[in-house]
Structure 1
């Protein structure tokens, strides 16, 4: 899997199975002794990539400071991972789409699922400074992650002169506004005091 990721980053999202096998130092038939076809290989690459992203975001799952700053850090970490591994992300978007009812979910959907589950839990358990009811937290988390993911994917294709830092700032503003509309301005004002040193 590590060799596959290296091959994708080197050759781009149109990497061939032969190039992946070459990077791993095995023949193409040898590669498929480890996987049950191309779909299984792509699913394994997707799983490894999600694992790496979750590891990259590990500090975010241990929140500290003000909620808006935590949001900003989480978005920045996600965008940094996408920018540094753009070819892997594009490969997953292109090649790990489900082909039938028994197939794995797409890699991009899997990434959103993992991150959304973490964010939902943080909203529900009060890690971000207030306990939000599950009925509100679930669509809020999934909506925020969906917006960030879609905007980031478009930015990778067409940056329009925006830096990753500028995109992060814009998405932080947008997400914070959505949170405010969803839970109310008074709740947001209360959240904004969490983590502030009043001594």
Structure 2
């Protein structure tokens, strides 16, 4: 019988340091998010350090460089927008309610976080975060549309350009609105975008000779049930 190996000793000091390191990184990312909201997308590392109440050199004890900090901010932003878009990931109600709730959530997040959005778009190391968020939304919509187009005997090949096209449309219109609202309120913009999106979806269905009532609840867990709600146009 081979000799029993002694259990490895855990270095308590190392564990404490790693825990403190992660806590400090989180605190500095919090400070960065606050500084971005205050100073805008061109916020400097010094302004972030000032917000955190430390010397700038102290930041680099917890981040390899400015790019490392920017990527940490991007990861936090992705978590934030993902949480805000629960109406998209878990849609409920009628088609128009689903569209309105998802669009309203995205427009609301942009309105509250436009400096953060522009910060991510401005820095090369974080641009993938914006693209990844849009890709995740587009892929989710494409999957929903493909399921319903298939169930309704429509053309599922339209699902992907439809999903990603809607993402680009809503994103571009919403960012422009944040900069140039021209008296148009959040709810008004949301209602307009939702109505236009439904027009596109309705036209896609009608191209297959079908129509759905946008004000009748839709069962997303069982796409085949939609065939009972669809009528010939």
Under TM normalisation by the shorter chain, which class is it? 0.7 to 0.9
Structure 2 partner of 1:29: 57
Determine the C-alpha separation between the residues in 2 that align with 1:188 and 1:145. 23
TM-score (norm 2): 0.71
Structure 2 partner of 1:61: 89
Residue ranges of structure 2 left out of the alignment (5+ in a row): 1-28, 220-228
Which residues of 2 match residues 1-199 of structure 1 at below 5 A? 1-95=29-123, 97=124, 105-126=127-148, 134-184=156-206, 186-189=209-212, 193-195=216-218
**Change beyond 3 A, Cα 1:12–1:192:** same
Classify the secondary structure of the residue corresponding to 2:62: coil
Classify the secondary structure of the residue corresponding to 1:177: helix
- Bigger relative contact order, structure 1 or 2, given CA contacts below 8 A and separation 6+? 1
Higher CA-based Rg: 2
**Change beyond 3 A, Cα 1:130–1:191:** farther
Native 8 Å contact 2:40 2:116 kept in 1? yes
Native 8 Å contact 1:92 1:107 kept in 2? yes
| Superposition deviation, residue 134 in structure 1 | 4.9
TM-score (norm 1): 0.81
Determine the C-alpha separation between the residues in 2 that align with 1:136 and 1:171. 20
| Superposition deviation, residue 171 in structure 1 | 0.8
Using the TM superposition, name which of 2-11 and 26-35 deviates more: 26-35
Determine the C-alpha separation between the residues in 2 that align with 1:194 and 1:82. 28
Residue ranges of structure 1 left out of the alignment (5+ in a row): 98-102
Using the TM superposition, name which of 17-26 and 30-39 deviates more: 30-39
After the TM superposition, list the runs of 4 or more consecutive aligned residues in structure 1 that deviate by more than 4 angstroms. Answer: 129-134
Classify the secondary structure of the residue corresponding to 1:29: helix
Structure 1 partner of 2:26: none
Determine the C-alpha separation between the residues in 1 that align with 2:141 and 2:153. 12
Report how many aligned residue pairs link the two structures.
189
Native 8 Å contact 2:87 2:105 kept in 1? no
Cα-Cα RMSD: 2.6
**Change beyond 3 A, Cα 1:43–1:69:** same
